[in-house]
Structure formats: C-alpha cells, structure tokens
Structure 1
C-alpha cells in the first residue's frame, strides 16, 4: 500500500514523498518536491494525491471521500533539531488530505511590476505617492476615467484606492507641486542620458466635451477644425523626445505666444545659460524671434517657402532657378520686410554676422530632388483642381491658384509659376553663427522635431489625453501632470526596448499571474516566460524577472 509521506529536510523545508510497504519493508517510490510555504505544501500534496490516484496504483474503491484538512509545515513551531541523512521526523502512516486548490484571482502582475520598475528608475518614487503612481500606470495601460481606473488596476493585480482617494490625489498633485518635482527629475534623467542644451518645442490643442467656454477653455484655432472649447498645450522635449516641460494656455491664445513662457520657465528652473530652441515653421514671427534673441536664447526655426525669392535673390540672379540634389545655400534673411543687407550685385552669398547684419537673421536653404518630386505632385493636383473650378466642372470654395474678380474666376498663372520655381526648397532661420553651428548641423537639428511630434501623437493616442471630461483649472492641470508623467515613462520604455509602448503592453498584458488558495493559504504564482518575453523584461528592468 502506498501513502504520502512528509519529512523535514536539513534546510528547514518539508519534503513530500510517496512511500510504499513491500514485504514489511518501507520503500520511497517518488520524491514529489520540497515546500517552504503552506501553499506550496498544499500543491505538492495535491500532486502526490493525483499520482496515487493514477491508474495502476491498485487502490481499493471504498467509496470514502478523504477529509480536507489543513496540513502544516513540519517543525514550523520552533527551530529544527540536528538531523542526519535529511530525515528528522517519522510521520504517521496514512493518507494526508488537503482541500483542492482554487484560483481566487488572476492579474497582469508582470506588466504592473515592470511599469512600477520603470517609474521608480526615473526617480518618480521620490514623490512618495503610490496612488499617483497607480494613476500613471493605469493611464499607460488603458486610459480611462477615474471611475473606471479601479477596474484597470484590479486587472493588473494591484489593489486600487477608492474613487474619492484618487480624486484627492489629483488635487494633491496640483496643489502639492508634483509637476515641478517631476520636471526636475525629468531634467536630471535627460541630462544623465545626453545633452539638454538643445530642446525641441511644439504646441497642440486638447478639446473638451463641453458647450460653454470659460476663462481657460476657449474656442480657438483647431488643426482638426473643431468648434469645441479647447486649451493650448506647449511641450518642450530633449532632442530624443523625452519630456522636460509642459504648460497649458487659453484655447484662443496664438501658438506663437506660448514658446517664450515655456522656455523661460525651463531655463530659470534649472539655471541654464546657453539654450537652443528648435521649433517648426508655425512658430516664428518677427516679434517672437526678436524676443527669443533678446532673452538670450538660440533658436532654429523653419522658414516659409514664400521667403525664398527674397533670401535667394542673389542665387536666382547669378545661377537661375537650377539646383542640384542636396545643395545647401547659407545666406541671410531680413528680420522684417526687405533690407539692403544682401547685395544682389555680389555673386557670393553673405556670411551672417550679428554686428554686420543687425536687421537680418541667418538663413539656410536646402534643395532635395525627392522633395521637389513630392512638391510637383502636390502642385499638379492643386492646378488640376483649380482648372476644374475655373472651367465650371467643380463647385467648391476657392482653391489655391484661383483668382475671383466679380463673377469671373481665372487661373493665377503667375502664382503657379512662382510655386513651380521653388519646389524642393526648405528654409531654416537661426541666430547661431556658422562658427557655432554649421549649415548641415542646422538642418539636422531641425529635423529632430519629429521626436516632439511623436510625443504629441503618443499623448493623444496611446495616453488618450483628449477629449477631456474635467472642467476646473486645477483638474485640468492635474490631468496634464498625469499625462506628462506617463509620457516620460512611455518614452523611457521606448528608448530601452526600441518598441512603441502600446506594443510592449500588448505583449506583456496577456502574461497572467494566478493567486491560488490551497491548504488554508493563498499564494501568487507567476506565469511561464518564453525567451522573447524574458528578453523584453531584461531590457525594461535590466535584469531577468524570475519571481
């Protein structure tokens, strides 16, 4: 007859074995394993019972159900005495029975622990607010309302705070200056990872599901042509897209009026002296660039193609409108209107100097054959649309290259010819001399702007920063602080893995940990990790996650 046997090992664990009696002598049939907790002991005993019940064991069918009792670890009440040959206790013969195991909860605990690890590695645990941390993690995994955030956290295997506690945390995040602390931690991380002397800036709008305006939520210019109340959000990131500063303004404020307050706040917060700001072509205005320059900032901004005939007047006079692929022309551009700084009688382009050209900025123009082909296709489509409108084949609002005089519409041939002449050109304006930044470096730095654009896309799609359902200024600011923090964590995840945060979450969320109740105790068991997921976890945490 076979039975389940428990013995205490030299390490203090409880070994579970299957033994049998043959001819009056006892023999160990199988060693099932060693348990260190009550739950592990229950699992091992259940496994041993399954082995005993396997066909071929010859057990009598007496119709008697085993009694489910709690089986304690051997020697748990005090220190274990010295043992010899790993056996110290001779258990009573008989069948040991425990209650069958039950799964009482499952959760994506691996994903939750990884996100907590990244959050902590950025130094954000210095806030000492676990509820705020969980709000950030929930925003990363499944952006939703405060009412639904608890469900997301439960699915991750975490214990959520109450809704009232979450709302109090949002208020504390704003009034407690969390964003200032987070901005300092983000700056420290970015400085340790690279150079923060050059930053990228852009703006976007976040709209509200509301009908009425107030002092902050105003109807203004919307790239999506929405008429809902909105706010204007400015974001400053390092050259790799890691967030450094965020600010929100009235929905009807001009985008050009947001850049100076943000960069001033960033410089003053960290005591920086030399800072170069890169912004797209929608940011520059004569007053904007003047204010940035007078405030001591370097800048690189995009220039509108319509300024090319003035900036490249000398080139067109001496070389015509012919350009070679990759050609770069380093010249100057008037700060406002026209001036005499660029003498078209001279064949050589002037080299910008602050003292010699006080009414001009440095301008760099580059020609790309690939861009020219794309611009030509766009112009052809616009020309065809204009001809269709002029010919009465289409009825639409006045498109480009159509001139309306009374009831007569004509094709603007002169404007079309000028546009064809400038295809393939892209301009950049800066107040940095060639001795500090070469023309190719100006172009390369400007092209890094896609990082800030990507960060905005992440905040709008992956983090669902819009639409907003809060209405008070404090709640809006707290919401932006959550999004700003989540964006920093998402950027860190992307930099470590090379994958989008949504891809990482899709891979890790299905890994479910299970909490099993057995033998009067409950224990959580991690999922099995395949080599690909383990490599991903190593990249995120810097070490293998084995427990």
Structure 2
C-alpha cells in the first residue's frame, strides 16, 4: 500500500502528522513531520506531507482553472516587524509617544529606513508591512507639525531624556551649522543663495544644531541662506535657555563660530564657552614661548596663556618668561587661550604643507596655470615662491588652539581640550542627517513645510542616536540587518499562519543590546 498521511492526537493535546505505510496489516511510521497546536499549524504540516508524497508528480491545471491550486500555500503579507518594533520601542523610550500622530511616526520611520520624498515614503511604509496613511493625511501632518508645536514637544522630550541619561547634567552643549540646498532657481525670504563649501549656486538655508556631549540632538533652527554662520549661534542658545530654563552651561563650537561679537554676547549672557582658535593667532598668543623656547615642542605639550579680544597685544609681554594666568578681572580685554602640540597633527600638517608647496612651485615654474594658490606671491607679472610665509606656516605645524572664558581654577587645560574634542559628535550628527537621514536636497517650497521637514529629520536623528548609543551599531547597519527579516502571513487550507524569520546570531546580539539599553 502506498504511503499516506496520518493524524494522531498526542498526550499533550497536539495533533501529530506522520507519513506512514501499511504492509501486511502492519502500520510503519516512515517520517514524523511534527505536531500542530492549532488549525493553521495542522494545515501547514499537512501541506508539507502532501508535497513529500507527491514530490515527483507534475501538477495538472484543469481547463478554466485560475489562481492558486487547492492546498498550495499563499503568502498574504510580509512585515519587517522586528525593525518597526525596534523603532517604536525607541520612540516610546524617548517620550515621543506624547505626539499621537501615526502619519508623523510613519514619516520619521521612512526617513530612518530609506530617506525619500514624502510621496515615495508611502511606498517605504507599505514595503515594511504597515498600512500607509493617505498622501492628503501626510500633507495635513506637515501642517500639524507647525500648528501643534511638534518640534517644541520633541525638543522637550529630548531634553528630558538627556537630563535623565546624564543624571541632570546638561552643562556641556555642542553647536555647529550646515547648509541645505534646494533644487530651484528661485529665491524667497528664507531660501537664499549664500556661502557654500560645495560652491553651489542653488538657494539654500542655514541650519543650526545643538547637541549634548554624546551627540543627542537638543535644538534645531533654520536661518536665511545668506546668513553668516556666526550670527546663528546666539538665537539657538537663547531658544534653548528659554525653552528649558537652563542658565549655567558651556557652549562648544568650532573656529567658524569665533567672532568677537559672539564671544562677548555669550559671556555677557553669563554662559561659558570653548571655541576653536585659528592657527594664525598662534604667533601672537605664543610670543612668549617662541621668545624663550623657540619653535621646539614636545608631543602633548600644553601652553595655557591669554589671547587678546580685539586690541593689539603688549609688545613688552615677551620680556618675562612666565605665561600669564587668565583672570577676567586682571585681563578684561583678553580671553584664556589653551594651545596644544601634537606630533601626529604635526606630521599631517607637514604633509599638507608639502603638497601646497609643490602646487605653488608648479605655478611658479609655469607647469600649472596661474591662479590663487597658497605660498605664491606675485610682483608685477613675476610669480615666486613665498618662502617667508611657508617658513611661518612650518613653524606652527602640530599646534591647535582653544579659546575660553573659563578660568584654569574651574577647568584645567586638559579638560578644555577634551571638551572641544567632543565636538565630533555634532559633526557626526550632521553627517548622519545628510547621509543616513538624507536631509538634503529637499524640495519643499513653503516655510512651514521646510520647518516641518526639519522637525522630521530632527526627530529621526534623535531615534537614530538612541539606537546607536544602546547598540553600538550605526543606523545603516541596523536597517540593513533588520529590514530583510520579515514576518510572513501564509494562507493554507483556509487557515492563516504567521511564519517568523530565523534570527542570525549577530541580530540576536543586537536585539539583546537594545533590550539591555532600557
């Protein structure tokens, strides 16, 4: 007798499915396929058994028959449930569930998974297995972002999260700016052609981002595209103070934020600052060192001195050997300056200078067309190598300066340097917002839509930073790892069965790390 399928009730109440054969009145179990605990599992096991029994039998489709053959499993839906759950978990952990708006969540989720247009984000959501909201709902959501103060709520939640995670310490804040350009030729009150490191002539806006020492976003603001970067820091800091009632904090920014007016305004607001200095200030700030020690430095050497705010330094200061110790009462026209020498930085600077010297020499020799090149000086029609400028630059290799209004008694030089080096977190956040979150180019036209877009990017950035902080994985790696792991709903024999994905070891470790991070 040919093998057949047999269903048997087990002691536990499950239904075992077996392939059996009967010979000479004796039933022999050829294969135990498994035990089912509900109708869907039973249908799946019966389908497996049917396929095994008829493995070599071609299927026959009857005339007029359309669709799926009886007994064939049909995939009804697929969901990247793990990925969605991980994002929703972070969303709640950050307190963003205070905004009860599924459209807003879907826009942030799409921005995290696959940055694209608002219209195409509906495709991304559908591919994740969620039911996407309608496009008109998306448009209304952008309006709600402004009307209902979503950014204020997100910023407040971010502050409370950082306050909790840092034990109430938000004393060190990092600030930087970037530009977002628009694919249009038309300027308006916000989108202006301005300075672009990429030499673009598209209208743009300037975006300022304030983060904590770990890179978690706290405040975002946008300004006219032709607004100088140095004019953005004060409004962002004041908005943060007014929103959260924070008075005492240290603001860290790079040399681009260094303007006499900025530093004076921050100081008069009762805030402390640490900003990068420009290497051209070194000859003046380190005049004493060069007078008494020459250009010799040891790796890691730190010189704690002063830098003049706007007036010229006293030419007689080099007559004494000791560096001045900055005191605001004693030095009202100066700030504290900390300079450090690094052998690694010196090697990098030396390589850069060598390349610049070679380019300059090529211009002087006529091997390259004449243009504005460092270390080339022109007298009349004659170009020559500017040996004096090159020598001055070579004397300053390896030096990095920091300007602050914090006394040495409050913050040692090493801590000033370490605090400034935390600035890479905000730079990393901007890189993430431009690449992983694709904050640009953006196609919105109205100011409210642009602000709503930045709110979505700001929110997505906060979720991304949280996931990264708890797992040690980049956002891109998390998405690439979780998105393909799909839960599948199968219809089989009139029953629906949910099939879970197999979890690789590295993903299991990721999920464990995210769970531990609670």
Asked if these proteins are the same fold (TM beyond 0.5), I'd say: yes
- Structure 1 window deviating more from structure 2 (169-178 vs 236-245): it is 169-178
The corresponding residue for 2:243 is 269
**Contact 1:514–1:524 under 8 Å retained in 2:** yes
**Shift of residue 21 of structure 1?**
8.1
- Structure 1 window deviating more from structure 2 (358-367 vs 404-413): it is 404-413
Please, which of 440, 465, 473 is the counterpart of residue 466 of structure 1? Answer: 440
The corresponding residue for 1:140 is 112
Counterpart CA distance in 2 for 1:342 and 1:116 is 64
**Shift of residue 414 of structure 1?**
2.2
Counterpart CA distance in 2 for 1:465 and 1:233 is 11
**Contact 2:284–2:313 under 8 Å retained in 1:** no
SS of 1:343's equivalent in the other structure is: helix
Counterpart CA distance in 1 for 2:356 and 2:95 is 52
**Shift of residue 221 of structure 1?**
0.4
What TM-score do you get using the length of structure 2 for normalisation? 0.90
SS of 1:371's equivalent in the other structure is: helix
Once the two structures are superposed, the pairs formed by residues 39-188 of structure 1 within 5 Å of their partners are 39-50=40-51, 99-188=71-160
SS of 1:356's equivalent in the other structure is: coil
Are positions 1:200 and 2:174 aligned together?
yes
The corresponding residue for 2:66 is none
Counterpart CA distance in 2 for 1:137 and 1:165 is 16
Please, which of 268, 280, 291 is the counterpart of residue 294 of structure 1? Answer: 268
The corresponding residue for 2:359 is 385
**Contact 1:537–1:543 under 8 Å retained in 2:** no
**Shift of residue 425 of structure 1?**
1.0
**Shift of residue 47 of structure 1?**
3.2
Structure 1 segments of 4+ aligned residues over 3 angstroms from their partners: 1-38, 47-55, 339-342, 541-544
- Structure 1 window deviating more from structure 2 (283-292 vs 514-523): it is 514-523
The corresponding residue for 1:237 is 211
Counterpart CA distance in 2 for 1:270 and 1:396 is 54
**Contact 1:38–1:520 under 8 Å retained in 2:** no
SS of 1:234's equivalent in the other structure is: strand
**Shift of residue 119 of structure 1?**
2.0
**Shift of residue 309 of structure 1?**
1.3
Distance 1:20 1:269, change over 3 A: same
Counterpart CA distance in 1 for 2:284 and 2:5 is 94
Counterpart CA distance in 1 for 2:517 and 2:221 is 36
Counterpart CA distance in 2 for 1:233 and 1:253 is 10
**Shift of residue 457 of structure 1?**
0.7
**Contact 1:339–1:359 under 8 Å retained in 2:** no
> Could you report, residue by residue, the CA deviation over 1:438-495 in whole angstroms, capped at 9, with x for unpaired residues?
0011111111111111111111111111111111101111111111111111111211
Counterpart CA distance in 1 for 2:480 and 2:325 is 53
Are positions 1:209 and 2:183 aligned together?
yes
Counterpart CA distance in 1 for 2:388 and 2:440 is 43
The corresponding residue for 1:455 is 429
Counterpart CA distance in 1 for 2:75 and 2:218 is 44
SS of 2:338's equivalent in the other structure is: strand
Are positions 1:478 and 2:452 aligned together?
yes
Please, which of 348, 371, 393 is the counterpart of residue 397 of structure 1? Answer: 371
Counterpart CA distance in 2 for 1:474 and 1:448 is 33
What TM-score do you get using the length of structure 1 for normalisation? 0.86
The corresponding residue for 1:490 is 464
Distance 1:141 1:329, change over 3 A: same
Once the two structures are superposed, the pairs formed by residues 209-358 of structure 1 within 5 Å of their partners are 209-340=183-314, 343-358=317-332
**Shift of residue 393 of structure 1?**
2.7
**Count of residue correspondences:** 508
**Contact 1:342–1:350 under 8 Å retained in 2:** no
**Contact 1:118–1:540 under 8 Å retained in 2:** no
- Structure 1 window deviating more from structure 2 (401-410 vs 372-381): it is 401-410
Counterpart CA distance in 2 for 1:139 and 1:402 is 47
Distance 1:31 1:157, change over 3 A: same
Distance 1:37 1:323, change over 3 A: same
**Contact 1:332–1:342 under 8 Å retained in 2:** no
Distance 1:342 1:181, change over 3 A: farther
Distance 1:235 1:366, change over 3 A: same
**Shift of residue 141 of structure 1?**
1.0
- Structure 1 window deviating more from structure 2 (266-275 vs 178-187): it is 266-275
Counterpart CA distance in 2 for 1:347 and 1:369 is 24
**Shift of residue 10 of structure 1?**
8.5
**Shift of residue 312 of structure 1?**
1.1
> Could you report, residue by residue, the CA deviation over 1:26-67 in whole angstroms, capped at 9, with x for unpaired residues?
999876555454422321332344466589xxxxxxx9x9xx
**Shift of residue 398 of structure 1?**
2.1
**Contact 2:311–2:333 under 8 Å retained in 1:** no
Counterpart CA distance in 1 for 2:247 and 2:500 is 50
Note the residue ranges of structure 1 that are not aligned, 5 or more in a row.
Answer: 56-62, 66-96
Counterpart CA distance in 2 for 1:317 and 1:25 is 107
> Could you report, residue by residue, the CA deviation over 1:104-149 in whole angstroms, capped at 9, with x for unpaired residues?
2334332222222222222212211122111111111111112211
Distance 1:474 1:523, change over 3 A: farther
Counterpart CA distance in 1 for 2:369 and 2:496 is 72
